[in-house]
Amino acid sequence: MAAIKHIFNELHYEMTRTIAEGGMGVVYEAVQRGAGGFTKVVAVKLIREEYSTIPEFQKNFIGEARLVANLIHTNIVQTYHLGQIGGQYFMVMEYVSGINLEQLIERQAVIGRLMPVDIAAFIVSRIARGLTYAHQKCDREGRLLGIVHRDIGPKNVMIAYEGDVKLTDFGIAKALDLMYNEEGKVIAGKDEYLSPEQASYAVTDARADLFPLGIVLTELLLGRNLFRDADRLVSRQNILSMPIPKFSALRPEIDPRLEAIILKALQRDRDKRYQSAFEMLHDLEVYLYSDGYGPTNEKLGAYLKAIMADPPHATEIASLRAKS
């Protein structure tokens, strides 16, 4: 960390802490400094040094940066810059002051509370909104990029304390002419959040992001991933063949309208699944808002702050639940 701090200080980035570490990369919080006392908090993502000289990883990292550079949307973490120093590539990205969805799920478990149904549906609707934009993105010549994220899961969804929901980490996405891809030979993604296409080594399209989005919705509602097993192969087999339960039997607050959305998202036959993220977004918003007032970023922000407080603000949580 000390060596990295020294190198980046020369580029006017002051590394302040490690945000996240993955198998191949590390993300740091940093302060960018400029003329006239200018400062901006950013996130800096680096390839781990041991992978930085491997052409495959370099190509994918550069491809991710090129891909997300023009994905400018309120529900996607923005990338500002791709650089290289000392043979190591790095990305400068939007810093989200908040937590990821996995941390929120863990927090809910610690305090023994299930997330309000409307808050869960709202979070997933915002992810679907970001996916709608990404799936429809074209290049400068008007060619559809054919983006498939392929790693939809709670760890890759950020929630700001103000209530903004942002999809991140397109590191294993596939897109026209931009990303390294061996689809059909390897499985991209986490076993408990795969689509059946991914789990069976099939070639994917945008619909492959919607099955795991359905999994995320059920995990928020139930507090657990029904497909997860300690054995990765079992998780994958569950994705392919585990009977899909009646979710209202597992949580009575799940009404028939939401149950129908979940079941359509979890169709193993992709021709019977939602055919686009926009379709799923539409159904979620009809569910949330057709009766009048529904959840907003501000309501999600208030809920997040109440849940993350130590101890949790029980009165505020109860008030938000009552309005669900």
Is residue 310 part of the annotated active site? The answer reads: no
Buried (b) or exposed (e) across 146-180, using 16+ Cβ within 10 A? bbbbbbbbbbbbbbbeebbbbbbbbbbbbbeebbb
The count of other CB atoms within 10 Å of the CB of residue 107 is 15
- Helix residue ranges, H only, the chain: 2-9, 55-69, 101-111, 117-135, 196-199, 210-222, 232-241, 247-250, 256-265, 277-289, 297-308, 314-322
Helices 277-289 and 210-222: crossing angle in degrees, nearest 10, is 30
How far is CA 4 from each of CA 21, 28, 48, 140, rounded to the nearest angstrom? 15, 10, 11, 36
Catalytic residue among 151, 169, 191, 209: 151
CA–CA gap between residue 312 and residue 107 (Å, rounded)? 10
Q: Please answer whether residues 66 and 81 qualify as being in contact, where contact means their C-beta atoms are separated by less than 8 angstroms.
A: no
Residue 215: closest CA among 120, 293, 282, 149: 120
Sheet of 79-85: strands edge to edge?
13-21, 25-33, 39-47, 88-94, 79-85
How far is it, in rounded angstroms, from Cα 260 to Cα 266?
10
Contact of 68 with 81, CB cutoff 8 Å: no
Report d(CA 320, CA 297) in Å as an integer: 13
Which residues carry out catalysis? 151
